[in-house]
Amino acid sequence: HTTIHRHDYRPPDYTVESVDLRFELGEDTTLVRSRLALRAAYDRSGGERPLVLDGHRFVLRSLSLDGTPLAPEAFQVSAETLVVPSVPASFTLEVETELRPQDNTFLEGLYRSNGMFCTQCEAQGFRSITYYPDRPDVLSIFTVTVVADRERYPVLLSNGNPLDRGELPDGRHFITWHDPFRKPSYLFALVAGRLACIEDSFTTCSGREVSLRLYLQEANRNKGGHALRSLKKAMRWDEETFGREYDLDCYMIVAVDDFNMGAMENKGLNIFNSCYVLATPETATDTDYQAIEEVIGHEYFHNWSGNRVTCRDWFQLSLKEGLTIFRDQEFSADMESRGVKRIADVRYLRTAQFAEDGGPLAHPVRPESYMEINNFYTATVYNKGGELIRMLRTLLGAERFRKGMDLYFERHDGQAVTIEDFVQAMADASNMDLGQFRLWYSQAGTPLMEASSSFEAADGVFTLTVRQSCPPTPGQPDKQPFHIPLVVGLLDRAGRELPVTLFGEPAPGPTTRILEVNRAEQTFHFSGLDSEPVPALLRGYSAPVKLDYPYRPDDLVLLMAHETDPFCRWEAGQQLAAQVILSLVADQQAGRELKPDQAFVAAYRAALTSGEPDRAFLAEALTLPSEKYLAELMPVIDPEAIHIARRFMIHTLATQLRSDFLAVREACRSALPYGVDDGRSGERRLANLCLAYLMSLEEQAITELCIQQYRTSDNMTDTMGALGPLASCDCPERSQVLEDFYRHWQGDRLVVDKWFSLRALSDLPGTLDDARALIGHPAFELANPNRFRALVGAFSQNQPHFHAPDGAGYRFLVDQLLRLIPLNPQVSARLLAPLTTWRRFEPGRQALMQQELRRIQALPQLPRDVYEVVEKSL
Ligand code: B3K
Ligand code: ZN
C-alpha cells in the first residue's frame, strides 16, 4: 500500500469535457457504457504524456478511441489503472464495463440496498463503475441514461434535470438525466428502485420554483415530513444568512438502509442513510429529529460549499467539510437554542477530536499524507476544521467574515480550489494578516493554554498571563505558537459583569472582548477594578484548546450561577464536577472509602432548583462530564475507577436530592400529547435526566414510575428516557420490558437498532455475554452498517465493559471485525478507533489492546483502509 503526499500534487494531464453514461441495470450483471470527451491539458510540445485512468473491481468489456476499438497492445490494464500510452490532443474514449452491484458489500460505487440500486462515490467510488480520472479537480458535464426493468424499478434517478424518457422492449424503460453544472466524479449519483415519493416545493429568493422530492420505501411514506420541512428551512436560512440560492429546478433526497456514513451531497440528488431521514414521534427521539435537521442542512449547504466550489485534491477535504460543519452548526443554533447547541458541539469536539489529537493517528486539519483517504473523514478534518472557520469569524467579526465568504464564492465558483484559496479570500476581504493563523491548518495537536492571574489592589489592575504550548504529534515534534482568539469577560464577587478595560485604554471597555494570543507567552493588564475579579475565559469556546486556569471551587460556583456566556457557565459546572470526580477516582484507586462532597451537592442543588428557564441548558448543566471526557483528563486512563466514581456521584446526588429530582421531573412533564415542534424538548430532556438519576437508587417505587412512563409514553423520547435506565437496572421487569419493546418494533429497522444499542450500552455485569448472544440474534445483520454499529460499535463505547481488565471486550470487538473486514473495510477501519488509543492505558490493557490489533494485522491481504489504521497505531 502506497502513501500519497500533498506535495506531490500535479494538475491533471487530461480533462473531461463531457461524459455520457448509459447504465443497463440487471439482476445478474449491470452494463455501463461511458463516452468521455477528453482533452490534453498540458503543453504537448514538451512530449506526449500517457492517458492514465482510475478503475478497478469490474470487468472491462470493450474500449475504443474515436470510434475505433483499441488493439490489445495499444493499452495496459493494471490492478488500479488503465493506461493508453499514446492519444491525440482531443478525442473520444468509449469504455464498456460489467459490474455486479448485488455482490458489492463495500457499499462504495454502485451497489444494492433493499432491492434498489444506489451509489456512493465520494471519495473514490466512481472508479469502481468505470475508468475515469477519478479526482476532484476534473470537472465535467454529465449526461446519464438509466435503463432498467419497468416493474421492478419504476423510479430512475441521476443528477440534474430529466431530459428524455421512454419505453424499451422486454418490459424495460429508460430515463436520461442532464446536469448542467460541471462536477467531479465523486458527486455523481444514480438511484433505481420501487420508491414512494413525497413532494413539496420551494420558491427561491429570486422567485424560482424548485421542486423538492423525497424518495423512500412505500412503508415509510409517513416518515419523511420532518426531513422535507428541514430542507425548506435550510434553503431559506442559507439565502438569509449567506445569500446562497439553490441552482437546479429540482432537489432530490433518497433514503437508503445500507449506508457507510450519514449522507452524501451528490449534486441535486442527495443519498441519505435512512436514519437521517425517517422520523415519526413514535419512532424517533427529539435528538433524532434535531440530527435529521442538521444533516439535511449539512448536505444542502454543500451545494455551495463543496459542489459549486469544490476541492482541488483530497488533502483539501476540510475546505468543504470544515466550512459546511460550521454552516450546519450555525443553522442548528439559529433553529434551536444557540448556547445549548454550542455546548453539544464542544462536548463532541472534546471527546472525539481531542482523542484523535492525542493518539497515533493525529493529523492536521489539512493532512500531509494518507494511504486511504476514507480514513480522513475525521473529527479533526470536520469538527476541528469547523472550529477554524469559527475562529476566523471571531477574529474578522461577522461583517468582514461575510464579505470574505462572498468573495470566496464569487472568485471560485465552478472551480476546484485549496484551503489556501479560502484563507486568502478571508484575508483579502478583511485586510487582515492571516499568516500565523494558517498554522492551524498545518499543525496537529490540541494546544494547551495555561493562564494565571494576579491582582494589584493598590492600582486596581488585574493581570492575566497566558502561556501556550502544543504537545508533539506524529511527525511534528515542535510546534510554533498559534494565533488564538481568547474571548474574555470579568465578573465581580457578586456575579456582575464588569467592563473589560485594557490598561492604557479609555474606560469603560466593553463587557466582553477578544484577546489575540499569538506568542508563547503573553500578558494582559486590565484596569479600573475595585476588587479582584473572576475571569470568564474562552467565552463561546472561542478556540479549540485545553484551557488551564487555577479556578477555586467558589469561583466556579460563582460562574455557574452568574456568568452570561452559556458555554462558560456550563463549563464552570463541568470543571467543578470533574475536580470532584477525579478526586474520587484517586480515592478509589488508593482503596480509600468514597465520600460525598457536600459543597458540590449544594452547588448542584442550587442549579437543579434554580428555575433556569432554558430547560435544555439546565439539563446540560446537570449532566456530569462523560466517562470519555473524564478519561481525557487523566494521564493514565482507569476506566473502572472512572465508572465507579461517576456512578458514586450520581448515586450520591440522587440520594440527597431525591425529592428535588422528583419535583423537577414532575414540573417538566406535560399532560399534552407530544408534538415535534412543541417547544417542550428541553422539558422532556430534563425530566428524563431526573428519572435517570432517580433510577440509580434502585428503588421499587422509582422503577414503577419508570415502567409507567414506558407504558404510557406517546413518543420515542420518553420511551427511551425510560428504557435507557431500565436497561441498566437489575430488576425482574427489565427483560420483560425489553422483550415487549422488541416485539412491538421488530418491523422497524431504526427502532430495532436502538434496541441493540440499549443492550450493548447497559451497565449490568452480563453485558458482554449479552452482546455476544445478540450476534446470533436473527435480527443481527453483519453487512448492514447501522446494525453493526448499533451492537458492536455501541459496545465499544461502553467504557467499563469494553475495557474489561481481562481483555474480553477488546476480543469481542476484534472477533466481529475479523468477520466484517472482508465485507466492508471502510466501516471496519472506523470501528477500530477505540483500540488505537492503547497508549493512554496502564501496561496490562496496553498489552491486551495491542494483542488484538496484531490479530488484525496478521490477516492475509489486509484492505488498505484497515492496514493504514493498524500500522499507524501499533
Ligand atoms: N461528503 C460525505 C462524506 C463522504 C465520506 C466518504 N467516505 C458526507 C458529508 O460530509 O456531507
Ligand atoms: Zn460534509
- Kindly give the distance from the C-alpha atom of residue 139 to the centroid of ligand 1, in angstroms, as a whole number: 18
Confidence of residue 85 (pLDDT cuts 50, 70, 90): very high
Compute the distance from residue 56 Cα to the ligand 1 centre, in Å: 21
Q: Which atom of ligand 1 is nearest to the CA of 321?
A: 10
The DSSP secondary-structure symbol of 714 reads S
> Tell me, what amino acid is at 714?
D
Q: How confident is the model at residue 766 (pLDDT cuts 50, 70, 90)?
A: very high
**Residue with the three cell numbers 484563507:** 423
Strands 140-149 and 116-120: unpaired
pLDDT tens across 536-588, in order? 999 999 999 999 999 999 999 999 999 999 999 999 999 999 999 999 999 99
What is the spatial distance between Cα 729 and Cα 525, in angstroms, rounded to a whole number?
54
Q: Whose CA is nearest to atom 10 of ligand 1?
A: 321
Quick one: cell of 4?
500519497
Task: Give residue 298 CA to ligand 2 midpoint distance, Å.
Answer: 6
Smallest CA separation from ligand 1 atom 2, residue? 264
Which ligand has the minimum distance to the alpha carbon of residue 262?
1
Return the pLDDT at 503: 95
What per-residue confidence (pLDDT) applies to 785? Answer: 98
Distance between Cα 213 and ligand 1 center (Å) = 21
For ligand 1, the distance from its centroid to the CA atom of residue 624, given in whole angstroms, is 32
Q: Which atom of ligand 1 is nearest to the CA of 306?
A: 1
How far the first Cα of the chain sits from its last, in Å, is 17
Looking at the chain, the whole-number percentage of residues with pLDDT higher than 90 is 100
- Ligand 1 neighbours (beta carbon < 6 A): 122-123, 261, 263-265, 298-299, 302, 321, 374, 377
**Among the atoms of ligand 1, which is closest to the Cα of residue 260?**
7
pLDDT in tens, 90-148: 999 999 999 999 999 999 999 999 999 999 999 999 999 999 999 999 999 999 999 99
Q: Residue 35 has which C-alpha cell?
A: 463516452
Structure confidence at residue 728 (pLDDT): 98
Q: Is the pTM of this model over 0.95?
A: yes
Identify which of 120, 261, 265 to mutate to test ligand 1's pocket (most ligand atoms within 8 A of the CB): 261
Domains and CATH numbers, the chain: 4-194 (2.60.40.1730), 746-874 (1.25.50.10)
ipTM: 0.99
Question: How high does pLDDT run on average in the chain?
Answer: 98
Atom of ligand 1 nearest to the CA of 382: 10
Q: Which of 187, 264, 301 for a ligand 1 pocket mutation test, highest count of atoms within 8 Å of Cβ?
A: 264
Smallest CA separation from ligand 1 atom 1, residue: 264
Closest ligand 1 atom to residue 298 Cα is 11
Long-range Cβ contact pairs of 327-330 (< 8 A, separation 24 or more): 327/238, 327/242, 327/297, 327/298, 327/301, 328/294, 328/295, 328/297, 328/298, 328/301, 329/386, 329/390, 330/241
The best mutation among 106, 128, 265, 292 to test binding of ligand 1, ranked by most ligand atoms within 8 Å of the C-beta, falls on 265
Sign of the four-CA dihedral 12, 13, 17, 18:
negative
pLDDT exceeding 70 applies to what percent of the chain? 100
Catalytically active residues are 299
User: Which residue puts its alpha carbon closest to atom 9 of ligand 1?
Assistant: 264
For residues 220-238, average pLDDT:
98
- CA 318 to ligand 1 center in whole angstroms: 11
690-721 pLDDT, tens digit per residue, is 999 999 999 999 999 999 999 999 999 999 99
Q: Which residue out of 124, 269, 294, 321 has the highest number of ligand 1 atoms within 8 Å of its CB and is therefore the one to mutate?
A: 321
- Cα separation of 393 and 384, whole Å? 14
Closest C-alpha residue for ligand 1 atom 7: 374
pLDDT band at 841 (very low <50, low <70, confident <90, very high): very high
Strand pairing class (30-40; 76-77): unpaired
Q: Which residue has a Cα nearest atom 8 of ligand 1?
A: 264
Range 438-467 average pLDDT: 98
Q: What is the mean pLDDT of residues 620-629?
A: 98
pLDDT of residue 303: 99
Q: What is the pLDDT of residues 594-606, one digit of tens each?
A: 999 999 999 999 9
Cβ–Cβ < 8 Å for 373, 134:
no
Question: What's the 263 CA to ligand 1 centre distance in angstroms?
Answer: 7
Q: Which of 356, 834, 862, 8 is nearest to 871 (CA)?
A: 862
- Cell of residue 398, nine digits: 461577522
What pLDDT does residue 611 have? 94
Q: What are phi and psi of 78, to 5 degrees?
A: -115, -175
pLDDT category, 285, cuts 50, 70, 90? Answer: very high
Measured in angstroms, how far is the CA atom of residue 544 from the centroid of ligand 1? 23
What is the number of the ligand closest to the CA of 377? 1
For 358, the enclosing helix (H) or strand (E) is none
CA distances from 542 to 350, 352, 405, 445, 514 (A): 13, 18, 20, 17, 9
Ligand 1 atom closest to the CA of 302, numbered from 1:
11
Q: For residue range 498-550, list pLDDT tens digits in order.
A: 999 999 999 999 999 999 999 999 999 999 999 999 999 999 999 999 999 99
